[in-house]
Amino acid sequence: MNKDVVHQSKKLALTIGFWGPLVPQDTNSWCGLLQLFQNVLNFALTISVPIATIVIVYGGFVIMTGGGEPDKLKTGRDAIIAALVGVIIVFGAWLIINTVLNIVGANVSVAPWSALSCS
């Protein structure tokens, strides 16, 4: 029974998000390594947008409730700018990795967004 719990917890830990397992089953091949990079980046994209939204809303709330205090305005503005810069960095990372995967011939297609098909 203990082995079942450990196996199920490993399976749960490796299955993150809605796109399937984070770590592919075949990690000993080049394609498995590329798939791992793609899965980690998809996970980062999936998490970054809701977090950035929350931080932007927080920054707006601080600005709105600041009462014109310069410190509160600066805090809210800095939070919004940090969230936007973070999203730009994550999407820039996706663009760089997608370009590198296309250069090395991983056959990345954009139709199902950033799906990696190895043959």
Q: What is the pLDDT of residues 81-96, one digit of tens each?
A: 999 999 999 888 888 8
Q: What single letter denotes the amino acid at residue 98? A: N
Handedness of CA 33, 109, 113, 79 (dihedral sign): positive
Tell me the pTM: 0.64
Instruction: Quick: pLDDT tens for 14-71.
Output: 444 455 666 766 666 777 777 777 777 778 888 888 999 999 999 999 999 998 899 9
- Examine the pLDDT at 113 and tell me if it is beyond 50: no
Distance CA 37, CA 32 (A): 9
Which of the residue ranges 2-6, 29-33, 96-100 would you say has the lowest mean pLDDT? 2-6
